[in-house]
Amino acid sequence: MDYGELATEMLKKTGAMMKSSFWPKKASAFMHGEMFILNFLGYRDRDTLPSELSAAMSTSSARVAMALKSLEAKGFIERRVDKGDRRRILVTITELGRELVESERKEMHDKMVKILTELGEEDAREYIRIVGRITEISGKVFNTCC
């Protein structure tokens, strides 16, 4: 078996999937930028420091500050001074931000249901199994595991 050829084919297929109209806009948004921040805050469901967001996103504090300013202007987050340590700023998702996150999650979920339904039960289960293995192995290869 030529794993080099398979790797080339996998990269082509993955690239084609990422270029489809659904993937780049929605899936990428959940992994980067403002939607990542809202998703992170929504799952965390507690006050968060901008430095924690910066670490989670692997990005600069300046980039996070810019995103937070934009999200605050849109009413999706609130920033306030920590009463216990006035040097710290705490970030919280607003109800409007939660509604946006839930709406986006539902849309992604519904589209994934359609994709998996089209695959059929056996292929859908196999796809999920293989993606899990690829994720596990990728973590080892790129030293991001455990």
Q: Give the domains, in start order, of the chain with CATH numbers.
A: 21-141 (1.10.10.10)
- When comparing pLDDT for 115 and 30, which is higher? 115
Indicate whether 93 pLDDT > 90. Answer: yes
Q: Mean pLDDT of all residues in the chain?
A: 87
Calculate mean pLDDT across residues 64-80. 96
Confidence of residue 29 (pLDDT cuts 50, 70, 90): low
> pTM of the entire structure?
0.74
Whether the predicted pLDDT of 81 surpasses 90: yes
Give the pLDDT of residue 123. 95
Give me the pLDDT at residue 54, please: 93
The answer to whether residues 93 and 79 touch, using CB atoms and an 8 Å cutoff, is no
Reply yes or no on whether the pLDDT at 103 is more than 90.
yes
The pLDDT of residue 28: 58
Whether 25 shows a pLDDT value over 70: the answer reads: no
Bridge partner list, 93? 77
Percent of the chain scoring above 70 in pLDDT: 88
| Residue 68: predicted pLDDT | 96
- Residue 79 in this model has a pLDDT that exceeds 70: yes
pLDDT for residue 31:
60
